[in-house]
Structure 1
Amino acid sequence: MTRRRTMTALTAGAVALLATGCGSDDPVNHPWRPGGAPAATEEPATAPVTEGLAGTLAGAGASSQESAMQAWVAGFQQANPDVTIAYDPVGSGGGRTQFTEGGIAFAGTDAPLDEAELAAARERCAPGDVAELPLYVAPIAVVFNLEGIESLDMSPATVAGIFDGAITQWDDPAIAAENPDVELPDQRITPVNRSDESGTTENFTEYLHATAPEAWPHEPSGDWPVSGGQSAQGTSGVVQTVTDGTGTITYADASKAGALGTVNLRVGDAYVPYSPEAAAAVVDVSPRVEGRGEASFVVELDRTTAEAGTYPLVLVSYMLACTAYDDAATAELVSAFLGYVASEAGQETAATSAGSAPISERLREQVQPVLESVG
């Protein structure tokens, strides 16, 4: 099977990354993995060896996947030394654009393709189908920098008030009421948001809109809807801005939380800290969106759940691929690499290196036949 349009030449950014994979040296510290460690130092789980597999594969997209992707690439290339894989963490919007335009073989995105993008992707992948595979599941952490304070409890309405500019001081009565045992400083809050179109932003604004509509009147969007705060490019950019400041707060993939303070979100009658297990629990109770094609596994997240032990501010990041490519070598590489990402070994690698939640065996059994059919 062939695809109607041949993949265009690699972008300059992808070419520059061919030798290094993701190229991130950000430290990754996880509360559930004491001590933390840079992703690059982790020993990846064994990837399968495919006899005779060789060539170059380029992808781009979600910066949230950067730590996991670095480990996936390292593990896969170690097992298949004649393969070079590049992933440019330009952000979800950039990845979707490059994928639909045919500039890359696969993409990562923290938000599903919208109607127009899905139509463009279907045209790009014809006569094959568009695969949307939820292979990276992780909590989004609300992280802050306040001296001497490691965690705070907040309801969705409080978080929404902070990021919409209604709550401007750390000792505001709304924050104080939820944290009676914490000595809050008389200090101005500086919210930090993503400057680029971001799937993390879309997930965060979707959560606020669903759980606190009165405090957050904005529609979910990958573009930040509120003016007046600070902004930075990419996941690493917003985390670095918060780290360098004081009284700062942002939202980011939990793998980048590091030593920053974190928010426990109110779910039902309890305040729940982020964790892979709590994030996976939300995905397991969320139904699949129908009508997008047999190779699409987009899920409808239940943000308003009150079920104990769930953390509804979760990011489900998708791998985009075609089930058919003009070039047989590209098809073989996509099938092999994403097959490893979806495998138990690949998910273990991401969990160890990036703190993500491994997908369920049920989901793996559904997506593996799609990847095996790529040709």
Structure 2
Amino acid sequence: MKLQRSGYIAGIALTATLALTGCGSDNDPATSAGDTSAAAANCAAGSLTAQGSTAQKNAMDEWIKAYQAQCSGAQINYQGTGSGAGIEAFIGGTADFAGSDSALKEDEQPKANAKCAGGEALNLPMVIGPIAVVYNVDGVDDLQLDAPTLAKIYSGKITKWNDAAIAAQNTGAKLPDTAIQAVHRSGESGTTDNFTKYLSKSAEADWTYSNAKAWKAPGGVAATGSDGVAAKVKSTAGTIAYVELSFAENSDLKMAKIKNGAGEYTALTGESAGKTIAGAKITGTGNNLSMSIDYNTTEAGAYPIVLVTYEIACSKGSPKAKEIQGFLKYTSSTGGQQALADLGYAPLPETIRSKVETAVASIS
């Protein structure tokens, strides 16, 4: 059940017109290098080392390829080690910037700020990635699930595919009497943080584990990185997992329709994800652009499980400030964002993109 590109591009157009409130190894990237003229316009020679979110790895690979092709002397190494590892590397001084599927936590922000020589560590939303609920069940092609059922599956309360709660939402489906293997990320992951945040806000009575980068619920099967999760579902019957859209598409996995706050079972498309993104709020101040997503959105036709991937970078004080600014100017440019359209990501709505561009321009 592969996402149709026309729908995805329609969703991108939608998000661009709607205002927001408030002010491992991975799969190969696409072959297109995006808008190389945008890359050339922001060139800064020098090397950068970064790591973190696997959710944005395909986007980062595409950006790096385009930027390095146009910028003589630029060398960028980004490793998809997971959001938690990326933030640790930034705080530890071994990463010039980090990728994270969640903004810095309250206890992480001061530690990150301490690495910025009088500046602060900025949360810069750079990639919007819908989270797909993927599954491998023979003969079931249009699975529908609500948040309470997902919470019960992942907390071990629902263990069979033909459970009454699943059957009630999937009339006519031939659900097998087989065990469910619920796959989650190993290690610390911003994708896990966002997925469990969705469960904690949309299924409060059934999910008692709050949200965190590290998986807290008992049971289930762990897999390393987004590519590892996708590979596990692809190869193992009876599995269900959460993974970013680009990985679901690249592995040609079936994706469930998810019930939103308006009571609709919604397929993951660009338009449906865009409707949820349009209701997000910027919660940070100044150039620190952390965001809050309404996972219980009642917007008709909205797909509720969406994450925002951030780049964590110093506002000032980094010895690599010029190189960081040059690269992030490209990724936050219109051309850089447009390069994501065919990779399973949603480019930033213009109201957010322009704020990120301004924040990046302030790096010194």
- Same topology, TM > 0.5: yes
Shift of 1:279: 2.3
Letter in structure 1 aligned against 2:310 = Y
In 2, are the aligned partners of 1:99 and 1:106 still within 8 Å (CA)? yes
The CA distance in 2 between the partners of 1:94 and 1:279, in whole Å, is 27
Residue in 2 aligned with 1:16?
none
Residue in 2 aligned with 1:373?
362
Shift of 1:126: 2.7
Normalised by the length of structure 1, the TM-score is 0.86
Greater RCO, CA 8 A, separation 6+? 2
Gaps in structure 1 of 5+ consecutive residues: 1-28
Q: 2:264 aligns with which of 240, 247, 270?
A: 270
Residue in 1 aligned with 2:13?
none
1:258-311 CA distance string (max 9 Å, x none): 321111001122111112332232222122114xx4221111111111111222
1:221-265 CA distance string (max 9 Å, x none): 111112221111111111111111110111111111132111100
Instruction: Say which SS state the counterpart of residue 151 (structure 1) adopts.
Output: coil
Shift of 1:72: 0.8
In 1, are the aligned partners of 2:51 and 2:89 still within 8 Å (CA)? yes
Distance of aligned partners of 1:259 and 1:119 in 2 relative to their CA distance in 1, 3 Å threshold: same
Instruction: Say which SS state the counterpart of residue 281 (structure 2) adopts.
Output: coil
Matched, 1:78 2:50: no
Number of equivalent positions? 341
Q: How is 1:1-375 mapped onto 2 (pairs within 5 angstroms)?
A: 30-33=2-5, 39-46=29-36, 47-50=38-41, 53-257=44-248, 258-267=251-260, 268-290=262-284, 293-327=285-319, 330-353=320-343, 355-375=344-364
Letter in structure 1 aligned against 2:144 = D
Letter in structure 2 aligned against 1:319 = E
1:3-34 CA distance string (max 9 Å, x none): xxxxxxxxxxxxxxxxxxxxxxxxxx951239
The CA distance in 2 between the partners of 1:42 and 1:174, in whole Å, is 44
Letter in structure 2 aligned against 1:120 = K
The CA distance in 2 between the partners of 1:326 and 1:64, in whole Å, is 25
- Deviant stretches of 4+, over 3 Å: 50-53
RMSD over equivalenced CA pairs, Å: 1.9
Shift of 1:81: 3.4
Distance of aligned partners of 1:276 and 1:333 in 2 relative to their CA distance in 1, 3 Å threshold: farther
The CA distance in 1 between the partners of 2:346 and 2:122, in whole Å, is 21
Distance of aligned partners of 1:52 and 1:245 in 2 relative to their CA distance in 1, 3 Å threshold: closer
1:14-60 CA distance string (max 9 Å, x none): xxxxxxxxxxxxxxx951239xx952423422233158732111110
Percentage of identical aligned residues: 36
Distance of aligned partners of 1:51 and 1:345 in 2 relative to their CA distance in 1, 3 Å threshold: closer
Letter in structure 1 aligned against 2:281 = P
The CA distance in 2 between the partners of 1:137 and 1:120, in whole Å, is 26
The CA distance in 2 between the partners of 1:338 and 1:153, in whole Å, is 39
In 2, are the aligned partners of 1:45 and 1:345 still within 8 Å (CA)? yes
Gaps in structure 2 of 5+ consecutive residues: 7-26
The CA distance in 1 between the partners of 2:302 and 2:41, in whole Å, is 39
Normalised by the length of structure 2, the TM-score is 0.89
Letter in structure 2 aligned against 1:351 = A
Instruction: Say which SS state the counterpart of residue 326 (structure 2) adopts.
Output: helix
The CA distance in 1 between the partners of 2:110 and 2:88, in whole Å, is 12
